[in-house]
Amino acid sequence: MSESRLKNHLFHVRRLAVWLSEPLAVLILVFCATTAIAQPFYVPSGSMEPTLQIGDALIGSKFAYGYSRYSLPMGLGPRSETRLLGHIPARGDVAVFSLPRDPKVTYVKRVIGLPGDRIQMVDGRLVINGKTVLLTPAGTGQVENEDGSSTPVGRFTETLPGGVRHPIFKIRWDGMLDNTRTFIVPAGHLFMMGDNRDNSLDSRVPADEGGVGFVPVENLMARADATIGSYDFLNMHGPASWPGLVRLSRFLHGVT
């Protein structure tokens, strides 16, 4: 190859490298940001109503609980019982986690039980370490069903040990999950529940029965901090209805 052709070849290689460097840098930045800082998540079910609605888009803080293999895309990384810069969640946090029995599935629930806690449901009331949690009537609300319809339901404010207050929906007091055995949360695990108490598959159902069971701290992905948008796709009835399905009130709405 002549010197002129070699210089021309190198010139084009450098131009290609410069052209690729910008999108590559963006990809690296996005990968690092969604791994270490924050990540968006989508809410496909009503198990956390009224706190979260079907169609909500969440932003989750990845650094809140430290880092494990589930902080990485697709859970790539070595298994470990400890987390890098790890922190145990506060009771009452709304947390995103990888489902223990199927790590490819992502769930979002509220942290109810911490390691060593004794959790039980008695006549529909939550009991933590032998004490019935304060439950205060707060009117009624509307549960959005998976067919887009709504059902009126009782709304209550639950006050957890430590003072965290949050809303729940409760339809009945004698359902299948309203009277349970006492669950003792193992070390390194959490007990998670949905705020829509009669329509939530959570830690009240063991993993070997198709439920969530105890959630290893390793499986935590993020703390749900805010909704960054929401779209009521269940009531989509053609293009004319699309603009009205955007829930503007859910934009930049804090999750508590």
**In angstroms, what CA-CA distances link 50 with 24, 47, 92, 214, 250?**
40, 9, 15, 23, 12
Q: Which two tokens stand for residue 67?
A: 């880092």
SS3 category, 213: coil
Single-letter residue type at 255:
V
Return all residues near 168 (Cβ < 8 A) that are at least 6 apart. Answer: 50, 135, 155, 156, 157, 158, 195, 196, 197
Q: Write out the catalytic residue numbers.
A: 47, 109
Return all residues near 200 (Cβ < 8 A) that are at least 6 apart. Answer: 47, 48, 109, 193, 194
8 Å CB contact between 242 and 233: no
Mode of pairing for the β-strands spanning 94-98 and 253-254: unpaired
Rounded to 5°, the CA angle 53-194-186 comes to 150
What does the DSSP 8-state code read for residue 173? Answer: S
> How long a stretch of residues is the chain?
256
Q: Is 121 exposed, middle or buried (0-12, 13-18, 19+ CB in 10 A)?
A: buried
